[in-house]
Structure 1
Amino acid sequence: MRDLILLGFTALCLAAAIRHPFAGLLTWAWFTLMTPHQAAYGVYGVPLNVIIAGVTIASYIVSGEISKFRFDPITALIVLFGGWLMIAQAFSLSPENSAVYHDRFIKTLLFIVLCAQMAAGKLRFHALVWTVVASIGFFAAKGAAFTFATLGQYRVQGLPNTILEDNNHFGIAVATILPLILYLREESARPLVRRGLLAMFCLAIIAIIGTHSRGAFLALIAFSGFFWIRAKHKFAILGGLILVTAPAIAFMPGKWTERMSTIGEATQDASFMGRVDAWVINYKLAAAHPMTGAGLRNSYEKEIAQSVDIERAERAKAAHSIYFEVLGGSGFVGLFIYLSLFAAAFLSSWRIYLSRNNQRLAPWKSRFAYYAQMSLTVFAIGGASVSLEMWDGYLIVIALIGALSKMAGADAKPVGHALREARQRYWRGRKRLKQLLGETENTV
């Protein structure tokens, strides 16, 4: 029955996507973030996401919407980064191993480019934001319920066989959407929706605590600090955060407190030092191949890791860092482009937020810029401890900032266009007047 419902709903979405490409993009985002086919049985393994992607791209081209494609700094950096990953793959130390991750990342970047181009207009924009929040928020609510049911004795995990299965990955993904939940709550007009989003926000915090992830807990602290610093009503915000987090922390078992207390003793923790070893190996691989690196995730290969550091290769595991994953996989050039993408998104959102007093700018745009900047900051901090560089969630936030920057720029165009038209009419009128005066003089 679950399979029939999923297939039937997917068929309806594909039918809508044939005429409206953005419907296909939303379905694509839903499958990417929530992976509903992973929870089914008979359709497990069926490439529904590939079919959805194919129909969406074909509809995007056939409908003529592709003619609206415009490069902006963020889109250009995404395309440039994807192009560099292709070059890095061509010089990969183990092409067979890195090809899997390379293909996955390229497909993700293609999807993100379409998000940046197609999320035009408030309705589409908010539909994509809701898709991100609802997809991750569902699992956050489920994780909070699991934490209550088990009295916090077990870790909250994501859906098996997905990028968010790991408790660390899941916790940081949930922390990343916390600002987006607050944004939608602020934008929602109906009290029932606002209360529902507030409940989701509280459950998301509990789910983060329930993951037992130190990295996710640090991301939660980063969110709290960033939000408190920029909030107008600081004491009210601080009281609200304490009201939610304090009972949840008190509810957790002693082993959770012991685990969190080791954050300050990272150098004595074998797990953390294993990550440091992996960071060193990725750095050394990049130093040996500064332009293209070793190829995505090739540092996981023991033989390749031993080629730069035999001792650390015995202890190292996954890099557990978006920065070192990109560095080791695509070299210093790839990391520079990747960091430039973050910087461009951060600065674009900051510029839009600073324009909040501009009467031509819709208030919701500056508000989203404020919360999107917060979301990126939380992920940038949390991402230093997890291998989530290929996760679509934070990349969709970057794409939304790109789409927003184009819309915010377009807000000023009508005024500038009218001014140019007025100037042109003035000069045309003046030229015509001279011509008339000249004809009059000649007649006289």
Structure 2
Amino acid sequence: MRDLIIVGIVAVGALMALKRPWIGVMLWTWISIMNPHRYAWGFAYSAPLAAVAAGSTLLGLLMTKERQNPFQGAPIVWFFLFACWVTLSWLFGMDPVGDYEQWNKVMKIYLMTFVAAMLVINKMHITAFAWVTIGSLALLGAKGGVFTILTGGNHRVWGPPGTFIGDNNEFALALIMTIPLLHFLQLQLKSVWMRHGLSAAMLLCAAAAIGTHSRGGLLAIAAMSAMFWWRSSRKGLIGAMLLFAVLVALPMMPEEWWERMSSIREYQEDGSAMGRINAWGVAWEVAKHNFFGAGMSYQHEVLFILYGVHETIVRAAHSIYFQVLGNHGFVGLFLFLGIWLSTYRVAGWLRRNARQQEEATWAADLGAMVQVSLVGYAVGGAFLSLSYFDLPYNMMILVVAAQAWVRARGWERDQQVPWLEYMGLRKRRKDQPPMAKPGVYPVQNGLT
């Protein structure tokens, strides 16, 4: 029955995507992030549902006129350059044939990210994209949170099997990034009960993240919580929720959890921690000696034998920074950091400027909460490998699309009296594009 429901949803969504391809973006996002078919037990488990969603979306994209240039902001440019460099790194890497599967998987995500940038062009699209992206992870987090509470934290929480977030560490970081984004959705709701429901979802996601037993996740949630409280417009409510989590959730965790967390202070005596540090050193040496890096993975035995200091055991980087550094070299890391620094700046632009327009306050809330999520990603990512997962790139699309929308709305409002600015009788705000000659209005996001 579960298989039929999932396949039925995909079939209907794929048909709708042929006429309205933005729906295909939502379908792809749901499948790619939540992986609902991985919770089925029959033919849907291995069915090419993501390929169906992507194929119908691309066909719809070719037939629709409701699309835009994907390069709407600096983050997209950085992202495009990084995607090109990843391909070069793969081609000039140590094992292009062996790395093809990983490159193919990553490029599918990147291709659909560009497609989303072309099709997410108005407030309705942005809102739907946010709900699908955030809701997909929130459902997984709620399930994991309930499991943590019922088991008293004695068993680890894992993500969907066979995905980027299947490991407990990566799943923890994804959930931590989801919490502030849930608060953004909460701020847009008028129903008190729905707001309470999202508050519960936030607490359950936090419980699930703690239940993963991830030490990197603990550091990420601490940094995110501080930024979350600082950026929130409801500091009393958020402070109460954080205090509740500390006073209620943490004391119920078993002794095994506390012993694992306390090992952060004694990392020199922890074999796993020293193995990660050794892997970071190998990544650094690989980047020093290989301009393009090692390819889609630098986890090759010969490299650890050659550059390993503490051991020669091949280990994952467990760091977005060293993962990208070892895989794609210093240029790749530079481009990767450029994506997130520029995304953070665009989110900050929204937080500062969108509140000047009453109808755009939702975009200001989005910018503030994306900044909080990015802080969690930056801190937690230092100890967790999540360089290619969809969520951060979807956050990039959200803020870039929102910025374009806000600028278009600002233009629409001010073009009612264009002669004032054109004749120099009124000063143009710094955040607005230059005013064209009266009667000549540029097209932005398909809106005049």
Same fold (TM over 0.5): yes
SS, match of residue 315 in structure 1: coil
Confirm or deny that 1:371 pairs with 2:369. Answer: yes
Greater Cα shift, 417-426 or 349-358? 417-426
Given the superposition, is the C-alpha separation of residues 336 and 127 from structure 1 closer, same or farther in structure 2, using an over 3 Å criterion? same
Q: Does residue 1:295 correspond to 2:295, yes or no?
A: yes
2-side partners of 1:310 and 1:423: how far apart?
A: 64
Question: What is the DSSP-based 3-state SS (H/G/I as helix, E as strand, rest coil) of the residue aligned with 2:266?
Answer: helix
Structure with higher helix content: 1
Report the alpha carbon displacement of residue 360 of structure 1 after superposing the two structures with TM. 6.6
* Map of 2:397 onto structure 1: 399
Partner residue of 2:19? 19
The letter for the 2-side match of 1:376 is: L
Q: 5 Å matches for 1:265-284?
A: 265-284=266-285
The whole-number CA distance in structure 2 between the counterparts of 1:232 and 1:5 is: 40
Q: Does the CA contact (< 8 Å) of 1:33 and 1:136 recur in 2?
A: yes
**Structure 1 residue 278, shift from structure 2 partner:** 0.5
Deviation for aligned residue 1:172: 0.8
Amino acid at match of 2:74: P
Q: 1:264 Cα deviation (Å)?
A: 1.6
Moved more, 257-266 or 237-246: 237-246
Task: Quote how far apart the aligned CAs of 1:59 are.
Answer: 0.4
User: Matches of 1:147 and 1:96 in 2, distance apart?
Assistant: 41
Kept in 1, the 8 Å contact 2:72–2:401? The answer is: no
**Paired AA for residue 53 in structure 1:** A
* TM superposition shift of 1:25: 0.5
Deviation of the 1:32 alpha carbon: 0.3
Q: Of 332, 335, 341, which aligns to 2:333?
A: 335
Letter in 1 for 2:367: A
Structure 1, 66-75 or 340-349: larger mean CA deviation: 66-75
- Alpha-carbon separation, structure 1, partners of 2:127 and 2:59: 24
Does the Cα contact within 8 Å between 1:281 and 1:312 map onto a contact in 2? no
Q: Structure 1 stretch 1-10 or stretch 327-336: which is displaced more?
A: 1-10
Answer whether contact 2:157 2:211 (CA < 8 A) is retained: yes
Larger Rg: 1
Shift in Å at residue 227 of structure 1?
2.0
Report Cα offsets for 1:314-373 as digits up to 9, x if no partner: 134001111111111111111101100111000111122111442376111111100111
Task: Tell me the equivalent position of 1:36.
Answer: 36
Deviation at 1:43, TM superposition (A): 2.3
Distance across 2 between alignment mates of 1:424 and 1:362: 25
The number of residues matched between the two structures is 425
Aligned CA-pair RMSD: 2.2
Q: 2:347 aligns with which of 344, 349, 356?
A: 349
Q: Which of 315, 323, 326 does residue 325 from structure 1 map onto?
A: 323
The answer to whether the Cα contact below 8 Å between 1:355 and 1:361 also exists between their aligned partners in 2 is no
Partner of 1:432: none
1:233 CA drift (Å):
5.8
Quote how far apart the aligned CAs of 1:240 are. Answer: 2.8
Return the alpha-carbon distance in structure 2 between the equivalents of residues 66 and 358 of structure 1: 28
Shift of 1:424: 7.4
Equivalent residue letter for 2:303:
I
Identity in percent: 31
Which residue pairs with 1:51 in the alignment? 52
Distance 1:212 1:19, change over 3 A: same
Report the Cα distance in structure 2 between the residues aligned to 1:155 and 1:419, rounded to whole angstroms: 61
Structure 2 residue aligned with 1:62: 63
Over 3 Å counting, the alpha-carbon distance change for 1:18 and 1:272 in structure 2 is: same
Work out the CA distance in 2 between the residues paired with 1:70 and 1:91: 27
Out of 145-154 and 408-417, give the one that drifted further.
Answer: 408-417
Name stretches of at least 5 consecutive residues in structure 2 with no aligned partner: 425-436, 439-448
Q: Is the 8 A contact 1:296 1:325 kept in 2?
A: no
**Normalization by structure 1: what TM-score?**
0.90
Residue correspondence of structure 1 range 156-195 to structure 2 within 5 A:
156-195=157-196
What is the CA deviation profile of residues 101-131 of structure 1, one whole-angstrom value per residue up to 9, with x for unaligned ones?
A: 2222211111222223322222111111111
Asked if structure 2 preserves the Cα contact closer than 8 Å seen for 1:176 and 1:375, the reply is yes
Q: Which residue pairs with 1:437 in the alignment?
A: none
Gaps of 5+ in 1: 430-444
- The aligned residue for residue 212 of structure 2 is 211
TM-score of the pair, normalised by structure 2? 0.89
CA gap of 1:5–1:232, structure 2 versus 1, over 3 A, is closer
User: Is residue 222 of structure 1 aligned with residue 223 of structure 2?
Assistant: yes
C-alpha spacing 1:287/1:13, structure 2 compared with 1 (3 Å): same
Residues 21-72 of structure 1 show CA distances to partners (whole Å, capped at 9, x for unaligned) of 0111000000000111222221222211012101101101211234554442
